[in-house]
Structure 1
Amino acid sequence: MPELLAEDAFAPYGRVIDADFDRSHLINDGRTRRFHALARAEPGEGGEAILSIFRGTPWPAPIEIRMLERHPLGAQAFVPMERHPWLVVVAERPEAAACRCFLARGDQGVQIARGVWHHPLLVLQPMQDFLVVDRAGPGNNLEEVFFVDGDWARIAPV
């Protein structure tokens, strides 16, 4: 069962991006609230930060985690563009037994730290768009591990 996405629980894997009033201030003559520096782009040496839109579609339930990936050269941030809950699966090592699944609210994003194992985007709606801050540049910034048949983590329906 997924655990609710919370800053302290997610800290070993990256940052939670949300509108926390403790990290905000008013600008534009008091008409705009700025939630400042919620995460920092980390493109790594020789890279540049880029913005993309990822459009996710749901995986069949129950969701089977058959692989993990990581980006050794830069962090990757996902911010939902619609207010639908979604899932984040991360792991300290590339093993099904090490996976942790978080249920993110539709107003929460995450920045997955450089080198952290994670599953690709897991949406629960028929289609959901995300603004993604990622790295472009030289070098191999994608490593993937595929699990042996049947040695998968499974996520119960939410």
Structure 2
Amino acid sequence: MLPQGLNVTPLTANAFAPYGDLIELEGKPDKIINQGMCGRYHDLAKLDFTDGRAGISFFDAKERRLPIVVDMVERHAMGSQAFIPLSGVRFLAIVADDDDGRPVNLSAFVVGGEQSINLHCGIWHGVLTPIGASGRFVVVDRIGDGTNLEEHWFETPYVIERL
């Protein structure tokens, strides 16, 4: 079967809300701290973990080049997962709705190098996909016992041909 085309749409907090949180600085800080030398933008993502704890990991991800084949998505039923670029690299957030345990209605967003995302529990999503350059990321997700990874391989893959 021929691959299915997947278009990339602009990333906004409203467009991404069904899948997670867009983490970016907007407006003025919520609070000024550290003797007036630091602005705090407070509680920008809903971290959600069952039977475990939050952990911080570094991911060193290789650049992906067009066309990008999306042949698999995954989800984590026991915790949210935040991706925070350290090197200012853009990346794709590929997400899907769930239909009785199967991913449907894939969407793709470009996440700017000054933006981050937090995927909510159970959201189908593509693998980490830096574009334009390889990149390092801080990943905040659940650490604990139990199976927290489910993969779905598409019979007919999707292809992103342009951003």
TM-score over 0.5 for the alignment? yes
Out of 125, 147, 159, which is 1:118 matched to? 125
Aligned residue identity for 1:89: I
Show structure 1 runs of 5+ residues with no match.
none
- 1:85 alignment partner, one of 71, 79, 90: 90
Distance change in 2, residues 1:13/1:22 (3 Å): farther
Q: Structure 1 residues 92, 65: CA separation in 2 closer, same or farther (over 3 Å shift)? A: same
- Residue aligning to 1:35: 41
Task: Please name the residue that 1:4 is paired with.
Answer: 10
**SS of equivalent to 2:146:** coil
Q: Percent identity?
A: 34
Q: Which residue of 1 aligns with 2:159?
A: 154
Q: Is the 8 A contact 1:73 1:114 kept in 2?
A: yes
Gaps of 5+ in 2: 1-6
Output the CA distance in 1 between the equivalents of 2:45 and 2:128: 19
Using the TM superposition, name which of 51-60 and 62-71 deviates more: 51-60
| 1:35 Cα deviation after fit | 1.0
SS in 1 for 2:133: coil
Deviation per residue, 1:59-102 (Å, 9 max, x gap): 3420011011000011000011122221100000344x621000
Give the Cα–Cα distance (whole angstroms) in 2 for the partners of residues 157 and 132 of structure 1: 26
Note the C-alpha offset of 1:154: 1.1
Q: 1:15 aligns with which of 15, 21, 45?
A: 21
Give the AA of the match of 1:32. Answer: C
Asked whether the equivalents of residues 70 and 118 of structure 1 are also in contact (C-alpha less than 8 Å), the reply is yes
Give the ranges of 4+ consecutive aligned residues of structure 1 lying more than 6 Å apart after TM superposition. Answer: none
1:137 aligns with 2:144: yes
C-alpha contact (below 8 Å) 2:29/2:39 kept by paired residues:
no
Paired residues in the alignment total 154
Work out whether residues 14 and 112 of structure 1, in 8 Å CA contact, stay in contact via their aligned partners in 2: yes
Q: Tell me the residue number matched to 1:53.
A: 58
Q: 1:22: Cα distance to partner?
A: 5.1
**TM-score of the superposed pair, with normalisation by structure 1:** 0.90
Q: Which amino acid aligns with 2:151?
A: E
